[in-house]
Amino acid sequence: MNKTSKTALITGASSGLGMELTRLHAANGDNLVLVARSIGKMEELKAEMEKAYGIQVMVIGKDLSQADAPAEIYFEVKKAGVEIEYLINNAGFGGRGTFAERPMEQEMMMINVDIVALTKLTKLYLPEFISRGHGRILNVSSPAGEMPGPLQAVYYASKAYVTSLSNAIWYETKGTGVTVTTLLPGAMDSGFTRASDMQNTKMFEKMVSPAIVAKAGFDGMMQGKMTVTGGLTFMQKIFTNMTHFIPKKLLMKQIYEMQQLKK
């Protein structure tokens, strides 16, 4: 790696929001460590970014639903002699359906990726960031973390965890030179949406480009903000801000209806 450039580690880098964050960091002159299951897509992205920006890109193929994956990533990067300046925990997925009916395996995989892997990578890198006095973390959460989510119960709960954890660490690291930013994306037109079976619901009637969300997250992280939204429409912002004032049963009824498949 080019020792004069800073390095960003981005999980879920092979598509959607992760790919757009990759492009932003490359354009910023940052070296990259890209993590995802799809090595082929990352190799294509690596070649494109190295040619376009003259940076160096390291590719690591890992399934973050596996318990040992975060530590394996950390030590592989260490072995390569790469110092991470930006940790971007972007990998995650959801899934529509009732909690009683969704397969146990899918729910546990979601928890492992959305909660466990993010926690482990943050836990591994944060102490050394604090020790050296600089480093930035971007944890991708969701406005879903502000409310219960019938038909995506585990996903909404996982994002509540991510937001709460990240906000708390942002406060704990004040004055250390380290920042932890939480990104709350709006409905995006991405593989995440299709994989979650959400593209044919009222909640995703209006979608934005992942590039718009990525820019908001990138800028917010660079500014050290605690929380930043990206791609939310005016009405979505109002709804999110009102969730703490709407009676919970009414709120859940609205969310349930918005997440049902259109007929």
Active site residues: 155, 159
Phi, psi of 137 (to 5 degrees): -120, 135
Question: Measuring CA to CA, how many Å separate 144 from each of 30, 181, 240, 244?
Answer: 31, 17, 9, 12
SS3 208: strand
Half-sphere exposure of 247 (CA within 13 A, CB side): 3
At 169, is the secondary structure helix, strand, or coil? helix
- Per the listing, tokens 């390291």 go with 58
Report the candidate in 129, 125, 140, 111 with the shortest Cα–Cα distance to residue 20. Answer: 140
Contact by Cβ (8 Å): 180, 163 = no
Using only C-alpha atoms, the chain has a radius of gyration, in whole angstroms, of 18
